[in-house]
Structure 1
Amino acid sequence: MRNFDLAPLYRATVGFDQIADLMDRVLTSDVSQPTYPPYNIEKTSDDTYRISIAVAGFTDEDLSIEVREKALIVSARKAEEQEDRTYLHRGIATRAFERRFHLADHVRVTGAAHENGMLHIDLKREIPEALKPRRIEIAKGAGESVKAVEDHQTEKTVN
């Protein structure tokens, strides 16, 4: 149950609906999230991240990593074990799991490695050139129009 209303955010902003939807989803979701398997999310530099998941007992063939609809989905399913084993104590959990991580715009998976019982997934935020900041020239004089500035920029690139 939410204790506050996100309506003012919708009224006062344009284009932030994805953030508001994410906040709404996080605040209304069930509090009892699964804790298996444990994982870390670290920021390795300004635009790179690493998700490390403890997957002891799983092989590369048991693990699956998929990106679908702006979500990173990591799942594991252990192959059928031999029935002739008798455990006196079984403390290593190898039950199937599925973990979802919602990815921001322009974040892509760059690689994954499975070593020493840890699955490391590297991510990078790559902002397209069209979305990077750019300087806009201001037209000189009252009679010039914005089109003149655009024509001037075109001449510079052609020459």
Structure 2
Amino acid sequence: MSRMATFNSPLLLGFDHFERILDRVAKSSADGYPPYNIEQIGENHLRITLAVAGFTMDELSITIEENQLMIRGQNNDDESERVYLHRGIAARQFQRAFVLAEGIEVVGANMDNGLLHVDLERHEPEIEVRTIPIGSTKTIDAQ
């Protein structure tokens, strides 16, 4: 089954990279664990909050790979000795990816009451205007 490319227009040159990013986002959003919020906490500030109850700071990692913010959790508890009558708190490992737009920078992260907060800042890009000189090609007509 072939799918139609989102950026298939001849007017959109060089956007195949964005199409690959959109594919990655679609694949990573299929799993809903752990739940998260994204909120705007200032004019140029964002915060991603993940519910990571049961994980310690040592069991979590935050990395930036290319333009993706990767948040991983691996619970190291040895639960072979525990007997659960009901288990409603998930303790499985996870990997959550967020694609960062150009100009978005991770400025910090902290944990509070089982919530992992990752703070982001958007830097306004400088607008660059370039003038492209137009040259001429002289052709010599055969006489």
Question: Normalising by structure 1, what TM-score?
Answer: 0.68
Name whichever structure is richer in helix by fraction: 1
Q: 1:95 aligns with which of 85, 92, 97?
A: 92
Q: 1:120 aligns with which of 112, 117, 120?
A: 117
- Identical residues among aligned pairs (%): 38
Give the equivalent residue in structure 2 for 1:109.
Answer: 106
Closer, same or farther: CA 17–45 of 1 in aligned 2, 3 Å: farther
Closer, same or farther: CA 135–90 of 1 in aligned 2, 3 Å: closer
Per-residue Cα deviation, 1:48-68 (whole angstroms, up to 9, x for no partner): 111000000111111111111
Q: 1:86 aligns with which of 83, 103, 117?
A: 83
Give the equivalent residue in structure 2 for 1:132.
Answer: 126
Pairs aligned (count)? 129
Name whichever structure is richer in strand by fraction: 2
Closer, same or farther: CA 18–83 of 1 in aligned 2, 3 Å: closer
Closer, same or farther: CA 113–132 of 1 in aligned 2, 3 Å: same
Question: Which one has more relative contact order, counting CA pairs under 8 Å at least 6 apart?
Answer: 2
Q: 2: distance between equivalents of 1:112 and 1:34?
A: 23
Question: Normalising by structure 2, what TM-score?
Answer: 0.75
CA RMSD of aligned residues (A): 2.8
Unpaired segments of 5 or more residues in structure 2?
131-143
Give the equivalent residue in structure 2 for 1:35.
Answer: 32
**For 1:70-81, what aligned pairs fall within 5 Å after superposition?**
70-81=67-78
Q: 1: distance between equivalents of 2:11 and 2:97?
A: 31
Query: C-alpha displacement at 1:38, in angstroms?
Result: 0.3
Q: 1: distance between equivalents of 2:57 and 2:28?
A: 31
Matched to 1:54, the amino acid is A
